[in-house]
């Protein structure tokens, strides 16, 4: 009998309690399912929990010869449980560097995109207790600060979808037991234990570290303490921004520079991160070395510099953070009557005649005469050309076709996705 067989499976009642911390859940839910025991246990628990609109999403990274077969096999197993399942394939060229990072980024892009397509507001992920401990250890080895050492967040927003990890405090052995006791088969990815990757190497070291006191429990306790410190810094940074920052029309941020300069460094850095990520939300936070350089540079008036997809200017009275026009490269198809989230910031929706072949792209440096015909008053409302250049517009080929209005009553309109700041 395996050690996992001695563990207690997760009951429907226990799982319901785990979900209570995320209440209320969205009407439509997606669950990321790799086919491994963690995500299969999560899918099983969701099925047992009750009749909710759930779709299982399977990402086929195409990194191993058997990945397509495993994805199809996982889809069959999920459908046998009575769940809808969809395979998302990552189409890519050979990945030559930073494989895990590239695969993780692609995975979230595919999953979030699928959530938007099916209208799922919540995406559940199967990260568990050992994942948390290993992540904290990896970040400790890399010299992370309080945010990194806080570990994996139980919930966070990304591109309008809430990422939820209800099993983060549950040990892997219980998840395996949940599958085994229900007769649910799962796959095992050998790369997870490979010494080729840092996580696999550190995983083999954890028993030795535990003998010296650095056990999984101690790592998770460290993460909890760092999370408390990070929450305190976040609280004061947000309070400062609510008092001393303003979002201007066009989605750029203005911060009073002198009060920012006088904050404790950790709070100042967090306030700057929050402002940067408001203007350019990305899954990964700004790189700390570049962020520290930027923070030092804006302590005094300084010329504009680009960082994290933004243009940051330190003027005598304020710091201005604008989206960098050259960094806005997203293209999205548009059809009349639908809603499109573009550049992670703008929601473009409404009706337009002749929508065939239309794309949402950056407005750019449009000729003033054409811009005034398509969007009367826009140059007055958003006088800075660099800000206007990053606004969404509808294009057909190389021809500027329409410019969404900020007016909620307009047939074609654009609204900034984030209503509150920070």
* Residue 13: band (very low, low, confident or very high) from pLDDT cuts 50, 70, 90: very high
Q: Cα-Cα-Cα-Cα dihedral of 129, 132, 134, 138, to 10°? A: 180
Cα 164 from Cα 306, distance rounded (Å): 33
Mean of pLDDT values over 131-160? 92
Residue 346 bridge partners (DSSP): 342, 416
Higher pLDDT among residues 341 and 393, named by residue: 393
Cα 358 from Cα 179, distance rounded (Å): 47
Higher pLDDT among residues 64 and 341, named by residue: 341
Domains and CATH numbers, the chain: 4-214 (3.40.50.620), 235-326 (3.30.465), 329-416 (no CATH)
Task: Flag whether pLDDT at 358 surpasses 60.
Answer: yes
Predicted pLDDT at 338: 87
Is 305 in a helix, a strand, or coil?
strand
Predicted pLDDT at 1: 44
- Tens-place pLDDT, residues 28-77: 999 999 999 999 999 999 998 876 789 999 999 877 778 899 999 999 99
Predicted pLDDT at 169: 94
- Tens-place pLDDT, residues 165-200: 999 999 999 999 999 999 999 998 666 655 666 777
Q: Could you tell me what percentage of the chain is helix, strand and coil, using 3-state DSSP and rounding each to the nearest 5?
A: 45, 20, 35
CA nearest 219: which of 282, 123, 150, 295? 150
Helix (H) or strand (E) holding 58: strand 53-60
* Residue 95: band (very low, low, confident or very high) from pLDDT cuts 50, 70, 90: low
Q: Do residues 57 and 114 lie in contact, with contact meaning Cβ atoms separated by under 8 Å?
A: yes
Predicted pLDDT at 102: 78
Is 342 in a helix, a strand, or coil?
strand
Predicted pLDDT at 281: 81
What length is written for the chain?
422
Q: Do residues 372 and 312 lie in contact, with contact meaning Cβ atoms separated by under 8 Å?
A: no
Cα 226 from Cα 220, distance rounded (Å): 10
How big is the CA angle at 305 (ends 302 and 310), to the nearest 5 degrees? 130
- Percent of the chain whose predicted confidence (pLDDT) is above 90: 74
Mean of pLDDT values over 351-369? 93
- Tens-place pLDDT, residues 312-336: 999 999 999 999 999 999 999 999 9
Task: Flag whether pLDDT at 230 surpasses 80.
Answer: yes
């Amino acid at each position: 009998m395996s050690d996992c067989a001695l563990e207690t499976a997760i009951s429907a009642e226990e799982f319901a309690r785990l979900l209570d911390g995320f209440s209320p859940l969205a009407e439509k839910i997606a669950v990321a399912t790799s086919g491994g025991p963690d995500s299969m246990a999560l899918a099983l628990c969701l099925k047992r929990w009750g009749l909710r609109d759930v779709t299982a999403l399977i990402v086929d990274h195409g990194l191993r010869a058997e990945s397509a077969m495993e994805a199809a096999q996982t889809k069959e197993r999920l459908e046998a449980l009575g769940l809808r399942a969809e395979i998302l394939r990552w189409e890519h060229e050979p990945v030559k560097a930073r494989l895990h990072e590239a695969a993780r980024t692609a995975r979230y892009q595919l999953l979030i995109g699928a959530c938007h397509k099916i209208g799922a507001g919540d995406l559940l992920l199967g990260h568990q207790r050992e994942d948390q401990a290993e992540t904290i250890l990896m970040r400790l080895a890399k010299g992370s600060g309080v945010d990194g050492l806080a570990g994996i967040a139980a919930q966070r927003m990304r591109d309008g979808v809430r990422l939820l990890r209800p099993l983060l405090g549950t040990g892997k052995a219980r998840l395996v037991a949940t599958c085994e006791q229900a007769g649910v088969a799962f796959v095992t990815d050998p790369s997870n234990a490979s010494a080729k990757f840092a996580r696999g190497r550190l995983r083999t070291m954890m028993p030795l570290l535990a003998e010296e006191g650095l056990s999984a429990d101690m790592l998770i306790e460290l993460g909890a303490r760092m999370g408390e410190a990070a929450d305190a810094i976040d609280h004061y940074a947000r309070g400062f921004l609510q008092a001393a920052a303003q979002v201007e029309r066009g989605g750029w941020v203005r911060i009073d520079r002198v009060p920012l300069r006088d904050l404790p460094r950790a709070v100042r850095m967090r306030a700057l991160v929050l402002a940067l990520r408001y203007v350019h939300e990305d899954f990964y936070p700004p790189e700390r070395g570049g962020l520290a350089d930027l923070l030092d540079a804006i302590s005094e008036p300084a010329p504009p510099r680009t960082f994290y997809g933004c243009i940051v200017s330190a003027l005598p009275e304020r710091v201005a953070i604008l989206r960098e026009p050259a960094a806005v490269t997203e293209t999205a198809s548009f059809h009349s009557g639908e809603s499109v989230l573009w550049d992670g910031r703008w929601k473009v929706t409404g009706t337009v005649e002749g929508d065939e072949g239309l794309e949402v792209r950056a407005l750019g440096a449009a000729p003033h005469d054409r811009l005034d015909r398509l969007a009367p008053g826009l140059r007055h409302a958003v006088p800075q050309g660099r800000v206007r250049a990053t606004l969404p517009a509808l294009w057909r080929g190389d021809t500027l076709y329409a410019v969404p209005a900020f007016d909620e009553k307009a047939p074609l309109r654009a609204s900034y996705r984030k209503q509150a700041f920070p």
